[in-house]
Amino acid sequence: MKSASDCWRYRIVQFAFALGLNVSLGLSCGPLIAQSRPSEQTEINDVHFHLTNYIQEGADLHDFVKIMGTKVRRVALFGIPLQQQWSYQNSGDLAPTYYLQTDSPLYYYSFTDAYIAMAYRSLSREEPARFEPMITGFNPADMYAADHIRRVLQTFPGVFSGIGEFTIHKELVSAKISGETANLQNRALDRVLEFAAELGWSLSSTTIWMFHSRSRARRLRIWNR
């Protein structure tokens, strides 16, 4: 049986090579989704659900609980950290609802974390136990990203279970984000990982694009002993 100190180490849960690096950090010694006693009808846990889209709209969480029914046991819940700008000069009165519908840039939208927290707090009785809310409303190229995560935890204590999903590289999306582009060499990402280590949060990488250096790959590959 693992000791408590062993549980506070990072571990890579899954590597899958694709065009993108989307990272989630979860609070657990075990899998990203905490285990609960399943009903006989339960079929899956969903580790990737965005409640909002690129214009910060989406399903009502109470309606989503009904969709889950008895088939889905637990869900990792997060928004999307990027907002698509509606530029009148670019698309006029046509309001884009997706990043491919306009050439206007995307920008980081930190309020998504507060929206997720309030939606979670509005759930009743046993419903909150079916969700693992995640912090995602930060710029991974910003050295203040870790400070944002800390402030969210202080503002909404007891709500969030981890960090994610945030993007290091995604084709088309990364090119549309204003300012500095996130990458694996950025010290800001180290600060996020270091803060996660302070909290004892484990690391789950859902899709990996590429490592630009062997040393950086080793720094991300921290394992359970």
DSSP summary character for residue 30: S
Structure confidence by residue, pLDDT tens digits, 58-89: 999 999 999 999 999 999 999 999 999 999 99
- Helix then strand then coil, % of the chain, to nearest 5: 30, 20, 50
Contact, 78 vs 23, CB < 8 A?
no
Measured CA to CA in angstroms, residue 223 lies from 8, 12, 108, 218 at distances of: 10, 7, 31, 10
Residue position matching structure tokens 């079929």: 43
pLDDT by residue for the chain (225 residues), tens only, comes to: 444 333 333 332 232 222 234 555 554 433 443 444 445 677 899 988 999 999 999 999 999 999 999 999 999 999 999 999 999 999 999 999 999 999 999 999 999 999 999 999 999 989 999 999 999 999 999 999 999 999 999 999 999 999 988 888 887 898 899 888 888 889 999 999 899 888 887 554 443 333 333 444 444 443 333
- The CA radius of gyration of the chain, in Å to the nearest whole number, is 18
Q: Where are the domains of the chain?
A: 4-220
The reported pLDDT for the residue numbered 40 is 61
Cα gap 168→189, rounded to integer Å: 9
β-partners of residue 189 are: none
The reported pLDDT for the residue numbered 88 is 97
Residue position matching structure tokens 């907002």: 83
Structure confidence by residue, pLDDT tens digits, 5-33: 333 333 322 322 222 345 555 544 334 43
DSSP summary character for residue 107: E
Contact, 133 vs 120, CB < 8 A?
yes
The reported pLDDT for the residue numbered 179 is 86
